[in-house]
Amino acid sequence: MEINYAEFIGSFTLTSQCPKDQRPEYAFIGRSNVGKSSLLNMLSDRKDLARVSKTPGKTQHLNFYLMDNTWYLVDLPGYGYAKISKTKRKEWEKMIDRYLGQREALCSAFILIDLSVPPQKNDLDFIDRLGEMRVPFAIIYTKADKVKPGKRGDNRALFEAKLLESWEEMPPSFTTSATKREGRTEILEFITSVNEKYLSFLNK
With residue 25 as reference, give the H or E element that holds it. Answer: strand 25-30
Q: What does the pLDDT read at residue 86?
A: 75
Which domains are delineated in the chain? 6-199 (3.40.50.300)
Q: What's the chain's Rg over C-alpha atoms?
A: 16
Residue 18 and residue 33: Cα distance in Å, rounded? Answer: 26
Whether 55 has a pLDDT exceeding 50, the answer reads no
What does the pLDDT average to over 104-127?
95
- Exposure b/e, 35-63, CB count within 10 A at least 16 = b: bbbbbbbbbbeeeebbeeeeebbebbbbb
Q: How far apart are the first and last CA of the chain?
A: 25
Q: pLDDT band at residue 82, thresholds of 50, 70 and 90? A: low
pTM of the model as a whole: 0.92
Question: Model confidence at 79, in pLDDT bands (50, 70, 90)?
Answer: confident
Query: From the CB of residue 131, how many other CB atoms can be counted at a distance below 10 Å?
Result: 12
Spatial contact of 181 and 42, defined as CB atoms under 8 Å apart? yes
